A and B are shown apart, each in its own frame.
Chain A
Amino acid sequence: MDRSSRSRSRRLAPVVAVAAAAALTLAGCSSGSGGKKAAEGGSGAPAGKADTPRMTVALVTHQSPGDTFWDIVRKGAEAAAAKDNVKLVYSADPSAGTQANLVQNAVDQKVDGIALTLAKPGAMKDVIAKADAAKIPVLGLNSGLSDWKKLGLLQFFGQDESVAGEALGKKLNEVGAKKIVCVIHEQGNVGLTQRCDGVRKTFSGKTETLYVNGTDRPSVQSTITAKLKQDSSLDHVVTLGAPFALTAVQSVADAGGKAEVATFDLNKDLTGAIKKGTIEFAVDQQPYLQGYLAVDSLWLYKNNGNYSGGGEQPVLTGPAFVDKSNVDRVAEFAAKGTR
């Protein structure tokens, strides 16, 4: 009896505290610098709207939750969908079996077009055949450069992770790197492994691999620091995502080394770091473009029968290198979260 009254007062406490905090906020301890007031809001490129009949497109990827790269792919797809009067159904799962089920789900819903990633091509074979039987056009994006034709897809947009890796490896040769470490932030992730393997293929120096726990930033930082201390001959750290590049910069400072950081993918803070010179360059496969083109092409195919590449050649979206020479232009769009 008196226990319940006690717990009631304890339940009230947080409410009171939140109210007090809100009052504090309103009382105006506002920040004189930074924050939202300093940043200008903005969305992707504004566009008109097509007057074609409403159609449904399913985009099915192998994204793991909360991944920046795929978030940008999705934004591109959404922008095209808004312009083309398309209803976009987005779904994603990193496990191949589940991804195949999601495609099956789209086939069952009788969508007008399917765009999917082929991280694990073998697992997609059967569902693609089912989509063909149901007369639904299917195209590939991002991964599956070597398999899309075999699987009978209509067209392909993007750039294989391994091709992006090879481009980065060549760039490392140009800047005179001798020994690098490639930091994989999710063990067993197909795309990430392909990126490092691509780098290894074209880079003429020595490539080491390092696995870090991508869900724990302090651990990422200390593990990269440990690696740099263990091997002081490392002259470049290659990370596979923008947040990890920014963490690696701190690791380099901690280790007191002179190693440079290069990375895959972009985000707003990363363009700032390239401007400052703390990060040497980033390779960008333009995820926004991959998502945008995938949806836009399905719309074109339905309304005018066009398809890019003539069913023979893929459409490449990268590699676009971002370094000091061109970062200003890119930063403008990265600030909006679309590059």
Chain B
Amino acid sequence: MSTAQRTEPASGPPPVSGPAPGTGRPLALRLVARPEVGVFLGALAVMVFFLVAAPTLRQGDSMATVLYQCSTIGLMALPVALLMIGGEFDLSSGVAVITSALTASMLSYQLTVNVWTGVLVSLVLSLAIGAFNGWMVVRTGLPSFLVTLGTFLILQGVNLAVTKLVTGNVATDDISDMDGFGQAKAVFASSVGIGGVQVKITVFYWLAFAALATWVLLRTKYGNWIFAVGGSKESARAVGVRVDFTKITLFMLVSFGAWFVGMHNLFAFNTVQSGEGVGQELIYIAAAVIGGCLLTGGSGSAIGPVFGAFMFGMVNQGIVFAGWNPDWFKAFLGVMLLGAVLINLWVQRTATRR
């Protein structure tokens, strides 16, 4: 399934401020020099490794389990990557997922309304949080790292305090017997049977959004703006790019992603724990960085984070499928990710060597 991703339009290189591929070199080398190809090879290496190490992983439904975890990371890694290309960070993305799920759940339950009302209100609230982040960043000129660190802490506290205030508990009430729940579950958290294997719907959304984001980045004016504001704000402004608009909408894109994943969490599990989501933001950022987005902005792709999230999910689940000693789980995870990133780096170095 990931090989199908290779046929993405890689033509028309975006204005990347990375290593400019030499013109007189063979196409294969020029292709390999692109960061997303390096990460693709890294992901492939990890996958082959675990397919050899873990026999139970070779079944189709095991792969569906791996892809499910990848998709819930990947859905957020995409907008986070776009934001990073645009030169900004969002540390509040992990808890924002839970904020949106809590909002939809509690609003529907407390007012006893159709769950779609909660879903829509929570979308509005999520976008407002994103807009606030973006507005604070462009207005104050503070690093987004600091602004969103503040938002992260605020949301973490608000998630807990408001849930406790409204429900009297630290988790929301079960809304699975309310009107509209079945429809919403079908949209956000159902499974699709493919050749006898149940694949979660988030996997399809993930790939569809990735294709859309790739098209936006490579084929639209807005995509050029993203690269431009991440590369150099002043030059971008000088040539007429709407810098503030671009940055604010990128933050809103991240909060849209948070809303989407939040809705999946809610309709897949019926209730939401208010303390969840902390620490996820780093996983999203990691997936984007593994996928070739620079921490400094201005460079990256939408397809890279897909492989980044795939690599992360693959290692995560692969260790379990391989049945290794769980005490070492986190250490294995770190070593595997470093290894994969080093492969990626080595591929690029070799490819760009004169």
Interface residues of chain A, those whose CB is within 8 Å of chain B, are 3, 6-7, 10-11, 14, 17-18, 21, 24-25, 29-39, 43, 64-68, 71, 187, 208-211, 213-219, 221-223, 225-227, 229-231, 243, 246-247, 250, 254, 256, 267-269, 272, 337
Contact = CB atoms under 8 A, between A and B. Distances in A.
Task: Tell me if A's interface is mostly helix, strand, loop or mixed.
Answer: helix
Given A31-B113, A35-B109, A229-B62, A71 B316 contact: no
The 4 lowest CB-CB distance pairs between A and B, nearest first, are A66-B275, A35-B112, A34-B178, A34-B177
B273 A18 contact: no
B328 to A, nearest CB: 10
Contacts of B167: 337
B278 to A, nearest CB: 5
Contacts of B62: 226, 229
Contacts, number: 197
A10 B109 contact: no
Contact of A218 (B72, B117, B124, B329): B72
Contact of A254 (B59, B198, B317): B198
Given A31-B115, A66-B275, A216-B280, A269 B68 contact: no
A293 B347 CA distance: 64
B323 A231 contact: yes
A267 B273 CA distance: 12
B175 interface: yes
Given A223-B69, A243-B273, A230 B321 contact: yes
B170 A64 contact: no
A218 B69 contact: yes
Given A67-B170, A218-B264, A219-B316, A35 B178 contact: yes
Contact of B320 (A67, A210, A221): A210
A215 B275 contact: yes
Contacts of A30: 111-114, 179
Contacts of B232: none
Nearest to B163: A66
Nearest to B325: A209
Interface of B: 54, 56, 59, 61-62, 65-66, 68-69, 72-73, 94, 108-117, 120-121, 124-125, 127-128, 131, 135, 139, 156, 159-160, 164, 167-171, 173-181, 198, 202, 244-245, 248, 264-265, 268-271, 273-280, 283, 313, 316-317, 320-323, 326-327, 329-330
A25 B275 contact: no
29 contacts: A3-B244, A6-B245, A7-B135, A7-B244, A21-B120, A21-B124, A25-B117, A29-B116, A30-B179, A31-B180, A34-B179, A35-B109, A36-B112, A68-B170, A68-B273, A210-B320, A213-B279, A215-B277, A215-B280, A217-B268, A218-B68, A218-B202, A219-B73, A223-B69, A229-B65, A230-B320, A267-B169, A337-B167, A337-B169
Given A31-B112, A66-B274, 8 more contacts: A29-B116, A35-B110, A36-B110, A219-B72, A250-B269, A268-B173, A269-B174, A337-B168
Contacts of A337: 167-169
A17 B54 CA distance: 50
A14 B177 contact: no
Contacts of A221: 68, 268-269
A218 B271 CA distance: 13
Contacts of B114: 29-31
Given A32-B179, A211-B329, A223-B320, A218 B268 contact: yes
A36 B172 CA distance: 11
Contacts of B178: 31, 33-35
Contacts of B135: 7, 10-11
Contacts of B316: 219, 223
Contacts of B128: 14, 18
